[in-house]
């Protein structure tokens, strides 16, 4: 399936220049938010399966891909504000927004702060580990992730971007996964390693208060793979319990990088969910 690209452009929003593309000719706007280490190219495997049904916006978050990389310490709050400003700038509201990993965290924060911009959301395995850090069965895994983060960021700071990316995948998401990823995906991670270092230094990067989301009543789909890292299922459970409209979908044989492991299945899940919650 080919994808019609309506625009490859940049937008100056919220004090930063963001690169974006719009695919497809559908009437329903769908914004895709990529995770850490990656770029809008993250969605290249998924977009062809969505472009017939939606007007799909993919963009490089600040510091990633072809978007501007401002100096100084960044924050997840800036990412949320960027997303809100881009949706408004392109006049896409109310839109569906789907995010993977840290993109899911940004999507959930947007739902808490600006529900007026949204028709509904989809979030795949957001790393909101603060939600489960006090649970006895999970706390050691959260501590292990913190130790991995320290080792990975030290390697990035030393200039070993490729080694840091491989260590993050192998020790954080699954042994042997690095070599299974497409070469262009791995290259994305290496190129965006400096911004991951910035994200890791943000004190709010894994924080989330369930009170923020308890009043979000628009449709919400939380997804995960049954082969994912063990930290993600308890996070999904906490979110689903707190959100009155949340539905959970698990993908058999998939893990964290759902967009390359099962792109067609992920796209089908999004499409079916949106159709079920679209009037008329």
- Domain of 248: which CATH number? 3.40.50.1820
- Report the share of the chain in percent with pLDDT over 90: 89
Position 206 scores a pLDDT of 85
Query: Is 219 domain-assigned?
Result: yes
Summarize pLDDT for 115-160 with one digit per residue, the tens: 999 999 999 999 999 999 999 999 999 999 899 999 999 999 999 9
What is the domain count for the chain? 1
Query: Is 68 domain-assigned?
Result: yes
Query: Is 86 domain-assigned?
Result: yes
Position 73 scores a pLDDT of 81
Our measurement of the distance from residue 131's CA atom to the centroid of its chain's CA atoms, rounded to an integer in Å, reads 17
Using CA atoms, how far residue 111 sits from 95, 135, 175, 219, 279, in Å, is 11, 26, 34, 11, 20
Query: Is 192 domain-assigned?
Result: no
Weakly modelled stretches of the chain, pLDDT under 50? 1-4
Query: Is 103 domain-assigned?
Result: yes
Count of all residues that appear for the chain in the document: 280
Position 114 scores a pLDDT of 97
Position 1 scores a pLDDT of 37
Summarize pLDDT for 83-112 with one digit per residue, the tens: 999 999 999 999 999 999 999 999 999 999
How far apart CA 216 and CA 181 sit, in angstroms, is 35
How far apart CA 92 and CA 134 sit, in angstroms, is 39
Cis peptide before 262 (omega within 30 of 0): no
Q: Which residue has tokens 């947007």?
A: 110
Can you read off the two tokens belonging to residue 47? 């977009």
């Amino acid at each position: 399936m080919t994808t019609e690209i309506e625009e490859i452009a940049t937008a100056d929003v919220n004090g930063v220049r963001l690169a974006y593309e719009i695919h497809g000719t559908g009437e329903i706007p769908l914004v895709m938010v990529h995770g850490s280490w990656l770029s809008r190219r993250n969605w290249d495997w998924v977009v062809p399966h969505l472009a017939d049904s939606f007007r799909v916006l993919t963009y490089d978050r600040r510091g990633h891909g072809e978007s501007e990389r401002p100096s100084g310490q960044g924050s997840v709050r800036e990412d949320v504000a960027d997303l809100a400003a881009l949706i408004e700038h392109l006049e896409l509201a109310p839109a569906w927004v789907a995010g993977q990993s840290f993109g899911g965290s940004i999507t959930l924060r947007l739902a808490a702060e600006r529900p007026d911009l949204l028709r509904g959301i989809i979030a795949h395995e957001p790393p909101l580990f603060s939600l489960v850090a006090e649970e006895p069965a999970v706390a050691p895994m959260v501590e292990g992730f913190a130790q991995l983060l320290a080792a990975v960021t030290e390697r990035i700071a030393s200039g070993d971007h490729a080694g840091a990316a491989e260590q993050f995948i192998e020790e954080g998401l699954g042994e042997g996964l690095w070599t299974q990823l497409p070469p262009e995906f791995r290259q994305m991670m290496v190129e965006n390693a400096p911004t991951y270092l910035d994200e890791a230094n943000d004190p709010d990067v894994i924080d989330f208060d369930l009170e923020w989301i308890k009043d979000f009543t628009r449709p919400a789909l939380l997804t995960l793979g049954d082969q994912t890292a063990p930290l993600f299922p308890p996070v999904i459970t906490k979110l689903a319990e707190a959100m009155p409209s949340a539905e959970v979908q698990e993908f058999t044989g998939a893990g964290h990088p759902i967009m390359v492991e099962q792109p067609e299945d992920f796209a089908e899940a999004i499409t079916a969910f949106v159709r079920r919650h679209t009037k008329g």
